[in-house]
């Protein structure tokens, strides 16, 4: 078998750096004139309410435009940029459109004839991805002659890294996303994610590492300016190299282990030919997990602050994207509500796998999945249920108040403002340039 080619290039110059990464990888080989192409960037989250740190969270508009220009130069005539932006309300189509406009995709439409599309307003089709994994995937991508996957170089609190294969999760519908976050110990999130590229054989992956994200995938992580691009026609090979650049042996990344096994590929890069820069010269270790205490029932910073009487167990891979968005705000609200007096042995359960523990006086079930699992559990002394998928902010506030934790309702009513606070740590630092997310 011929080795798959992966290019590693330092980002230095608009157009030229991306073009070199793609050329070294043979990225557009076989692309015919008039081809129908889908571009899949990474837009984890968006809010119209406040600017927020996009660095290491969202694919730079610079890389998106450079890819569009390359495709047009090669004669691609039908190009769509497709993404499924996470929003707090179902059928919120205004927020994704705002994201597309802010990031310059509409300008790209005027300049190159590109169509920015919200995946949730497009048709889906059921696809058998092998190994018993059947998901509903965007029909535009399935019917395209070519798909360009543009992930960000980042770690991920649940999947260790989030690179090319993981980025394709944005092409499946809501029910399929929830299906990935299941409680099966074998066919779990990692097992499902590993197969996402199986339905897209003609795929180019270009990892945007101009900015990376430590403890991602969202804005509460820590961004770094790395200026690295990785490209390959093999999604798995690109991700194996990306994992190494982030400081991880691919054997430490469960979905890459599954993907390699599924393709009968080694994890040690022995069948990968690297062109351009070396991994060793550009690798920078990134932590992926948020630190908790040894018991796993409270984040380390909250323990350090002396907070007690509340047990907010560490997230697992069954908590889906929508409850994940609530999770950070809930933890921040608890920390802000602390007045120095221990709460009354309150536990908070999330995801689809957690169980109540002995000795707890009050058990908050956060989300529909937890409620359905434990609504009849005789081991719960006082049940405080927060139903809904995702749970409504008002219900979360009411539940915490019932448990004696007087969180500030404003934090939940204005969750869209929270990301703006994270922008402060990047202000007045010249390496963090907003221009990378604009189209002039």
Q: What is the pLDDT of residue 80?
A: 98
Tell me the two tokens of residue 37. Answer: 């192409």
Tell me the two tokens of residue 308. Answer: 């007690």
- Of residues 403 and 2, more confidence is placed in 403
Report in angstroms the alpha-carbon separations of 315 from 174, 197, 221, 368.
20, 26, 15, 16
Q: Does residue 16 register a pLDDT over 80?
A: yes
Residues 262 and 195 sit within 8 Å (Cβ to Cβ): yes
CA distance 177 to 168: 11
DSSP state letter for 372: H
Q: What is the pLDDT of residue 415?
A: 87
Q: Does residue 308 register a pLDDT over 80?
A: yes
CA distance 348 to 302: 15
Residues 62 and 14 sit within 8 Å (Cβ to Cβ): yes
DSSP 12-59: -STTHHHHHHHHHTTTTTTPPTT-EEEEE--B-B--SSS----TTTB-
* Rounded percentage of the chain residues whose pLDDT exceeds 70: 100
Scanning the structure block, which residue is given the tokens 């692309």? 31
Give the pLDDT band (50/70/90) at residue 1.
low
Tell me the angle at which helices 105-112 and 94-102 cross, rounded to the nearest 10 degrees. Answer: 70
Query: Would you call 70 helix, strand, or coil by DSSP?
Result: helix
Q: Does residue 322 register a pLDDT over 90?
A: no
Mean pLDDT, the chain, as a whole number? 96
Ramachandran quadrant class, 359 (left: phi over 0; alpha: psi -120 to 50; beta: rest): left
List the domains of the chain with CATH numbers.
4-288 (3.40.50), 300-421 (no CATH)
Q: Residue by residue, what is the 3-state secondary structure of 326-349?
A: HHHHHHHHHHHHCCCCCCCCEEEE
Give the pLDDT band (50/70/90) at residue 321.
confident
Residues 6 and 238 sit within 8 Å (Cβ to Cβ): yes
DSSP state letter for 295: T
Burial class (CB in 10 A: 0-12, 13-18, 19+), 438: middle
Tell me whether strands 152-156 and 160-162 are parallel, antiparallel or unpaired: antiparallel
Give the pLDDT band (50/70/90) at residue 67.
very high
Q: What is the pLDDT of residue 416?
A: 87
Give the pLDDT band (50/70/90) at residue 88.
confident
Of how many residues is the chain composed?
Answer: 440
Give the pLDDT band (50/70/90) at residue 74.
very high
pLDDT single digits (tens) 105-120: 999 999 999 999 999 9
Residue 320: count of CB within 10 angstroms of its CB? 24
pLDDT single digits (tens) 241-293: 999 999 999 999 999 999 999 999 999 999 999 999 999 999 999 999 999 99
Query: Would you call 21 helix, strand, or coil by DSSP?
Result: helix
Please, what sign has the CA dihedral across residues 64, 175, 197, 128?
negative
DSSP state letter for 103: T
- Report the candidate in 357, 318, 350 with the shortest Cα–Cα distance to residue 331: 350
Report in angstroms the alpha-carbon separations of 180 from 173, 190, 196, 245, 318.
11, 8, 10, 26, 8
């Amino acid at each position: 078998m011929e080795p798959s080619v992966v290019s590693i290039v330092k980002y230095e110059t608009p157009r030229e750096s991306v073009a070199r990464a793609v050329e070294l990888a043979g990225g557009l080989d076989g692309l015919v004139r008039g081809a129908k192409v889908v571009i899949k960037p990474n837009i984890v989250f968006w809010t119209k309410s406040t600017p927020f740190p996009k660095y290491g969270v969202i694919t730079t508009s610079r890389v998106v435009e450079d890819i569009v220009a390359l495709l047009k130069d090669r004669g691609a005539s039908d190009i769509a940029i497709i993404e499924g932006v996470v929003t707090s309300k179902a059928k919120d189509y205004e927020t994704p459109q705002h994201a597309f406009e802010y990031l310059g995709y509409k300008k790209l439409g005027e300049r190159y004839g590109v169509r920015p599309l919200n995946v949730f307003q497009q048709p889906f089709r059921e696809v058998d991805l092998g190994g018993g994994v059947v998901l509903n995937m965007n029909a535009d991508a399935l019917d395209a002659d070519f798909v360009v996957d543009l992930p960000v170089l980042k770690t991920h609190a649940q999947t260790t890294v989030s690179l090319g294969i993981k980025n394709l999760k944005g092409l499946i519908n809501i029910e399929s996303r929830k299906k990935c976050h299941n409680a099966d110990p074998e066919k779990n999130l990692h097992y499902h994610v590993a197969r996402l590229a199986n339905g897209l054989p003609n795929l180019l992956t270009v990892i945007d590492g101009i900015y990376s994200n430590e403890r991602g995938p969202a804005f509460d992580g820590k961004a770094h300016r790395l200026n690295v691009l990785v490209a390959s026609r093999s999604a798995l090979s690109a991700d194996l190299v990306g994992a190494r650049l982030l400081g991880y042996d691919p054997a430490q990344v469960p979905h890459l282990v599954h993907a390699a096994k599924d393709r009968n590929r080694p994890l040690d890069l022995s069948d990968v030919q690297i062109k351009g820069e070396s991994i060793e010269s550009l690798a920078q270790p990134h932590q992926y997990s948020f630190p908790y205490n040894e018991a796993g029932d409270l984040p380390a910073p909250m323990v350090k602050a002396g907070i007690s009487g509340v047990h907010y167990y560490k997230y697992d891979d069954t908590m889906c994207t929508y409850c994940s968005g609530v999770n950070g705000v809930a933890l921040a609200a608890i920390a802000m509500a602390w007045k120095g007096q221990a709460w009354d042995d309150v536990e908070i359960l999330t995801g689809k796998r957690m169980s109540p523990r002995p000795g707890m006086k009050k058990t908050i079930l956060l989300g529909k999945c937890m409620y359905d699992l434990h609504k009849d559990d005789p081991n719960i002394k006082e049940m405080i249920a927060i139903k809904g998928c995702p749970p409504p902010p008002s219900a979360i506030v009411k539940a915490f108040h019932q448990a004696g934790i007087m969180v500030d309702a404003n934090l939940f009513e204005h969750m869209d403002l929270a990301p703006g606070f994270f922008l402060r740590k990047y202000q007045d630092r010249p390496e963090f340039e907003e221009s990378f997310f604009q189209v002039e």
